[in-house]
């Protein structure tokens, strides 16, 4: 009998993981807060279109309100929700997670300690994810990264030891993409956050596909400045840059500019020039972005540790204005961002 697995969150990432697990022969239950998505999965199944494959699968799906009466308990939960939803989702699923079960946060940001405070550190495994996908139509996902171009890192929170459960989880996610086991999962997660601060950060403000945003004059240099700030904050936290995106230690040799350029170009190369960052997708759906858990976290930790973060400060201020409805996400924000930085203020 297979493991009792739940995927908590059936957005673009959760649906992509779910479809690959189903195609690989695993039995899972999807649980989601978007009613139309659950109903579409139930009626016609889940379709995930990749660059080189199309998965069409039927998946058992539950509305959140049905979880309490479903009489299910899970051994493994992959939680694929926005950073701002991680705490209440962890509280929701905690009673349905077996005492010796494990919850894996398949999401951006540095939420593992927060998740562990709810479900327990002994039931939490850290994860870094590189998977680009979009969903606007219930039941239909456009996945921009193929399985070969998708990457995960897994690791225990408090030990570099490669435990049996981490090996098992790596085997499961191996049907979704490449999986590395990290000796320092916190360092790997912060390295991904650095990359996101360079890509999602300034590029996401503009509403443009990655390829178009990357061609703007000065964008690469500005992104590197944001990355250097994020790297400095990480160092002040006691974290070092770790190889990510399937790269090796030799690929991360060199000075800060070389390391950051490698991380940024690899990430953008994997997701493709036509893809749109997650903040743009959120904006198109009329909801706030999770940049408070990425760029905003860099800024908060920077203030706490005395590390200056002027580029990230300016970026997050514009995101806050967009989320508040004061600005539209479009290319004019690039001029606003550069003007603020030239003036030496993010106010």
Same domain? For 138 and 199 the reply is: no
- Domain hosting 272: range is 187-343
pTM (2 d.p.): 0.92
pLDDT value at position 199?
87
pLDDT value at position 307?
98
Q: State which H helix or E strand residue 57 sits in.
A: strand 54-57
Same domain? For 39 and 134 the reply is: yes
pLDDT value at position 346?
45
What whole-number distance in Å separates Cα of residue 271 and Cα of residue 161?
A: 31
What whole-number distance in Å separates Cα of residue 296 and Cα of residue 291?
A: 6
C-beta of residue 118 within 8 angstroms of C-beta of residue 90: yes
**Predicted confidence (pLDDT) per residue in 62-104, tens digit:** 999 999 999 999 999 999 999 999 999 999 999 999 999 999 9
Beta bridge partners of 314: none
Sole residue written with tokens 């978007």: 34
Q: Which residues contact 280 (CB under 8 A, 6 or more apart)?
A: 204, 207, 208, 329
C-beta of residue 5 within 8 angstroms of C-beta of residue 29: yes
Identify the CATH number of the domain in which residue 73 sits. Answer: 3.40.50.720
- Is a pLDDT exceeding 70 seen at residue 250? no
**Predicted confidence (pLDDT) per residue in 107-161, tens digit:** 999 999 999 999 999 999 999 999 999 999 999 999 999 999 999 999 999 999 9
Same domain? For 198 and 84 the reply is: no
**Predicted confidence (pLDDT) per residue in 13-24, tens digit:** 999 999 999 999
Same domain? For 139 and 255 the reply is: no
Same domain? For 157 and 68 the reply is: yes
If one counts the domains in the chain, the total is 2
At CB < 8 A and 24+ separation, what contacts does 121-125 make?
121/157, 121/158, 123/97, 124/157, 125/154, 125/155, 125/156, 125/157, 125/165, 125/166, 125/169
**Predicted confidence (pLDDT) per residue in 310-331, tens digit:** 999 999 999 999 999 999 999 9
Region of residue 254 (left: phi > 0; alpha: psi -120 to 50; beta: else)? left
Beta bridge partners of 127: 154
Same domain? For 123 and 220 the reply is: no
Please give the order of strands across the beta sheet that includes 54-57: 54-57, 46-49, 140-143, 133-137
C-beta of residue 166 within 8 angstroms of C-beta of residue 306: no
C-beta of residue 170 within 8 angstroms of C-beta of residue 126: no
What whole-number distance in Å separates Cα of residue 202 and Cα of residue 337?
A: 8
C-beta of residue 30 within 8 angstroms of C-beta of residue 16: no
Same domain? For 169 and 211 the reply is: no
Same domain? For 14 and 117 the reply is: yes
Same domain? For 174 and 210 the reply is: no
Same domain? For 332 and 280 the reply is: yes
Sole residue written with tokens 């921009």: 144
Same domain? For 177 and 203 the reply is: no
First CA to last CA distance, the chain: 58
How is residue 204 written in tokens?
């996401």
Identify the CATH number of the domain in which residue 247 sits. Answer: 1.10.1040.10
Beta bridge partners of 31: 8, 62
Same domain? For 165 and 270 the reply is: no
């Amino acid at each position: 009998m297979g493991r009792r697995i739940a995927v908590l969150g059936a957005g673009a990432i959760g649906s992509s993981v779910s479809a690959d697990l189903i195609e690989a022969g695993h039995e899972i239950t999807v649980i989601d807060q978007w009613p139309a998505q659950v109903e579409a999965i139930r009626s016609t199944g889940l379709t995930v279109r990749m660059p080189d494959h199309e998965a069409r699968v039927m998946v058992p799906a539950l509305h959140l309100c049905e979880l309490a009466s479903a009489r299910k308990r899970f051994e493994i939960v992959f939680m694929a929700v926005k950073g701002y939803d991680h705490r209440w989702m962890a509280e929701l699923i905690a009673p349905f997670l077996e005492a010796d079960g494990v919850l894996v946060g398949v999401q951006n940001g540095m939420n593992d300690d927060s998740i562990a405070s709810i479900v327990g550190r002994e039931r939490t495994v850290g994860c870094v994810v590189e998977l680009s996908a979009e969903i606007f139509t219930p039941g239909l996902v456009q996945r921009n990264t193929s399985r070969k171009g998708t990457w995960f890192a897994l690791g225990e929170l408090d030990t570099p030891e490669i435990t049996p459960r981490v090996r098992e989880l790596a085997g499961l996610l191996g049907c979704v993409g490449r999986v590395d086991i990290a000796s320092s999962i916190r360092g790997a997660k912060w390295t991904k956050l650095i990359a996101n601060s360079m890509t999602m950060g300034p590029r996401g403000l503009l509403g443009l596909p990655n390829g178009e945003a990357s061609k703007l004059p000065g964008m690469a240099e500005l992104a590197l400045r944001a990355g250097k700030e994020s790297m400095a904050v990480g160092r002040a936290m006691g974290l070092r840059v770790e190889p990510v995106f399937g790269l090796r230690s030799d690929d991360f040799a060199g000075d800060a500019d070389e390391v950051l350029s490698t991380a940024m170009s690899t990430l953008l190369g994997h997701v493709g020039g036509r893809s749109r960052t997650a903040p743009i997708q959120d904006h198109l759906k009329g909801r706030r972005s999770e940049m408070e858990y990425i760029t905003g976290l860099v800024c908060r930790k920077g203030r706490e540790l005395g590390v200056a973060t002027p580029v990230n400060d300016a970026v997050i201020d514009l995101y806050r204005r967009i989320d508040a409805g004061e600005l539209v996400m479009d290319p004019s924000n690039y001029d606003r961002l550069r003007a603020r930085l030239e003036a030496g203020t993010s106010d």
